Amino acid sequence: SDLSDRAAVPSRSNPADPFVAECIAALGASNVLITATDMASYLTDWRKRYIGQARAVLRPGSTEEVAEAVRIAARHDVALVPQGGNTGLSGGATPDESGTQAVLSLGRLRAVRSIDPANNTITVEAGCILAEVQDAARAAGRLFPLSLAAEGSCTIGGNLATNAGGTAVLCYGTTRELCLGLEVVTPAGEIWNGLRGLRKDNTGYDLRDLFIGAEGTLGVITAAVMKLYPQPAAQVTALAAVSSPHAALKLLELAQGAAGPLLTGFELMSDFCLELVRRHFPQMRYPFAQRYPQVVLLELSDNESEAHARGLFEGMMETAFDDGLVLDAVVAESLTASRAFWDLREHIPLAQAEEGLNIKHDIAVPISRIGHFIDYTDALIAAAAPGARMVVFGHLGDGNLHYNVQTPEGGDARAFLNRYQEQLNRLVYDSVVAHHGSISAEHGLGRLKIEDNARTKSAVELGLMRTLKQALDPHGRMNPGKVIGGVR
Ligand code: FAD
């Protein structure tokens, strides 16, 4: 609808606003936040790139209340911005600056509804914190393998809405691949119960997959059936030093050949990434006696025994040394040591932030092209923006790199960004497209990457996306301005 046919925006702290009054009647006053102070944490994204305004923050406590809130919003023509843990990295959960939208927080839908160990499934509400889902699975003797650094505060609804990846995609797949069924409140306020824990179900269009990765633009996820796996009997974590991303790829091939599905982690870290960690977190232990161009973190998960896992790992490393692929390697001898290896990897983004301003790109290219992508793009950036420092790390086994650019050492970082940011984004994304990749591997489009997506996707693909949006949300009330953009 046109902005002009909507009522004037009432004061944000006005409980007499008819929309707010109806929400209070339906959800209770304590679950309709309207003061600037109460709403503040819901109006800014994790990276503090966007600061929005809202008419209210709604906190329904059940699927029925979500549906009721959506129907009230529809009656008052108020757009809704679904929000889980607010850890998204693309601005998808932040309302715009108009003050006309309302945030729909799923934080109170937090129940683990059921666990079915025989079916290897868990049914959880959207606002369940990821770490709590992992804990519930562990308590039932099972593994819920989705794992990422924000797991202490992100929600399963947000993981589904962004189709989150994390560190175990290599073996278990993305959130999409871990989901068997969904419960969704449609933009019309109806409840679709698709909570089927089936591994086979060919009964027409796959509605579940439409809502996964849609970043809240097609409906509100209120619950999900997720897959569970056996807890591994043993895990081996190791760091292996290699000479280049090309050598890392050869090591990946060798490891997958030797360990198959037991290879559950394969993360690449360039020397500069680790140098940043050493510089800003000197208390963290770097286990090698010298620096190497690239370090790979490998993890094997074994259902047999510790001895079997170690045997497998040692055999693999012997071949890698014999082939000249690996320059040095250390195996974690305890859980603490294993945690310390993962900490090195997980501190890279934090070290980057400590170092100063930077430009982030979360991209994917076919695994076989990663080495060429890095060489080619590094050379383009070095020529275009002298002094730029590439911070390249990521889930190599998934073809997913965090290809980030740090401003030059000691220079005026802000001036560098003003001058080069747009050019470098374009250059990286053009290189991604030339390598048949994706400009957003894990973090979605939100409002951050709408233009780059429109520039790099075909008219046919964009047209199909708009057709879907129009069909499911004809009034454009579900998280407008995200994913495919456009003004209501
Ligand atoms: P939010 O940030 O609240 O929302 C994200 C998007 O989903 C928004 O568009 C929102 O509107 C929508 N949404 C949220 N809940 C619902 C719902 N119930 N129904 C419909 N739409 C909804 N991502 C990775 O993939 N891999 C990583 O390794 C990774 N590491 C991270 C590390 C850190 C430190 C941080 C801060 C983030 C990381 N992320 C990673 C980003 C990741 O997208 C989020 O952490 C997580 O998946 C989002 O969950 P959330 O509950 O915080 O969602």
Q: In this structure, which residue's CA is closest to atom 14 in ligand 1?
A: 158
Residue 209 token pair: 């997959």
Rounded to the nearest 5°, which phi and psi values hold at 132?
Answer: -70, -35
Ligand 1 atom at minimum distance from 221 CA: 19
Q: Is 418 exposed, middle or buried (0-12, 13-18, 19+ CB in 10 A)?
A: exposed
Domain ranges of the chain: 11-108, 112-230, 234-349, 356-434
> DSSP 3-state assignment of 206?
coil
CA 287 to CA 332: how far, in whole Å?
10
Q: Decide whether 234-349 matches 356-434 in CATH topology.
A: yes
Contact, 115 vs 197, CB < 8 A? Answer: no
Residue 479 pLDDT greater than 90, yes or no: yes
Number of other residues whose CB lies within 10 A of the CB of residue 428: 22
* Stretch (H or E) spanning 32: strand 32-33
pLDDT at 10 over 90: no
What pLDDT digit, counting tens, does each position of 290-301 carry?
A: 999 999 999 999
Calpha distance 430→380 (Å, rounded): 11
Tell me the residue type at 230: P
Q: Which helix (H) or strand (E) holds 224?
A: strand 220-227
> What's the CATH class of domain 112-230?
alpha beta
What does the pLDDT read at residue 6?
A: 36
Q: Are 13 and 32 in contact (CB under 8 A)?
A: no
What's the gap in Å between 219 CA and the centre of ligand 1? 16
**Which residues are CB-neighbours of 247 under 8 A, at least 6 positions away?**
294, 325
CB atoms within 10 A of CB 318: 11
Weakest mean pLDDT among 71-80, 303-312, 375-384: 303-312
- Residue 3 pLDDT greater than 60, yes or no: no
DSSP-based three-state secondary structure for 199: coil
- What angle do the packed helices 413-434 and 370-384 form, to 10 degrees? 140
Which atom of ligand 1 lies closest to the CA of 149? 32
Question: Over the stretch 196-216, which tens digit does the pLDDT of each residue have?
Answer: 999 999 999 999 999 999 999
Question: Ligand 1: does its nearest atom lie under 6 Å from the Cβ of 107?
Answer: no
- Cα 469 to the chain's mean position, in Å? 22
Q: Which residue has the tokens 């170690």?
A: 310
Q: Whose CA is nearest to atom 35 of ligand 1?
A: 150
Pocket test for ligand 1, best of 148, 177, 191 (most atoms within 8 A of CB): 148
Q: Which pLDDT does position 200 carry in this prediction?
A: 94
Instruction: Look at residue 124 and tell me whether its pLDDT is greater than 70.
Output: yes
59 C-alpha to ligand 1 centroid (Å):
18
Whether residue 396 is predicted with pLDDT greater than 50 in this model: the reply is: yes
Residue 13 has a pLDDT of 54
181 pLDDT higher than 50: yes
pLDDT, mean of residues 274-287: 95
pLDDT of residue 14: 74
**CATH number of this structure's domain 234-349:** 3.30.70.2190
CATH 3.40.640.10 fits 356-434, yes or no: no
Residue 379's pLDDT is what?
A: 97
Is it the case that residue 11 has pLDDT exceeding 50? no
pLDDT at 488 exceeding the cut of 70: no
Arch. (CATH architecture) of 11-108:
2-Layer Sandwich (3.30)
Helix axes 348-355, 271-280, angle to 10 degrees: 70
Q: Residue 8: pLDDT band by 50, 70, 90 thresholds?
A: very low
**pLDDT at residue 51 is higher than 90:** yes
Probe target for ligand 1 pocket from 87, 132, 218, with the most ligand atoms within 8 Å of CB:
87
- Residue ranges in 295-396 assigned as alpha helix (H): 306-322, 335-346, 348-355, 370-384
The alpha carbon of 84 and the centre of ligand 1 are apart by a number of angstroms equal to: 7
Q: Supply the mean pLDDT for the chain.
A: 94
Phi and psi at 209, nearest 5°, equal -70, -20
Tokens of 477: 């009330």
Across 129-143, average pLDDT:
98
Q: Tell me how far apart the alpha carbons of residues 411 and 234 are, in angstroms, rounded to a whole number.
A: 47
Which DSSP string do the residues of 405-431 spell out, in sequence order?
A: EEPPTTS-HHHHHHHHHHHHHHHHHHH
Q: Confidence class of residue 365 from pLDDT cuts 50, 70 and 90?
A: very high
Q: How far is the CA of 442 from the centre of ligand 1 (A)?
A: 9
pLDDT digits (tens, 9 = 90+) for 300-337: 999 899 999 999 999 999 999 999 999 999 999 999 99
Task: Check if the interface score ipTM surpasses 0.90.
Answer: yes
Question: Ligand 1: which of 59, 105, 154, 449 to mutate, most ligand atoms within 8 Å of CB?
Answer: 154
CB-ligand 1 contact for 155 (6 Å cutoff): yes
Across 343-356, average pLDDT: 93
Q: What is the model's pLDDT at position 187?
A: 98
Residue 486 has a pLDDT of 63
Distance 371 CA to ligand 1 centre (A): 29
Res 461 pLDDT > 90 = yes
| Residue found by looking up tokens 């600037």 in the block | 36
CA of 105 to the centre of ligand 1 (A): 13
Question: What phi and psi, each to the nearest 5 degrees, are found at residue 459?
Answer: -60, -35
Residue 482 above 80 pLDDT?
Answer: yes
User: Is any ligand 1 atom within 6 A of the Cβ of residue 142?
Assistant: no
Q: Ligand 1 pocket, 216 CB below 6 A?
A: yes
> Which pair of structure tokens corresponds to residue 424?
């470098």
Check pocket membership of 448 for ligand 1, CB cut-off 6 A.
Answer: no
Kind and range of the H or E element at 236? strand 234-242
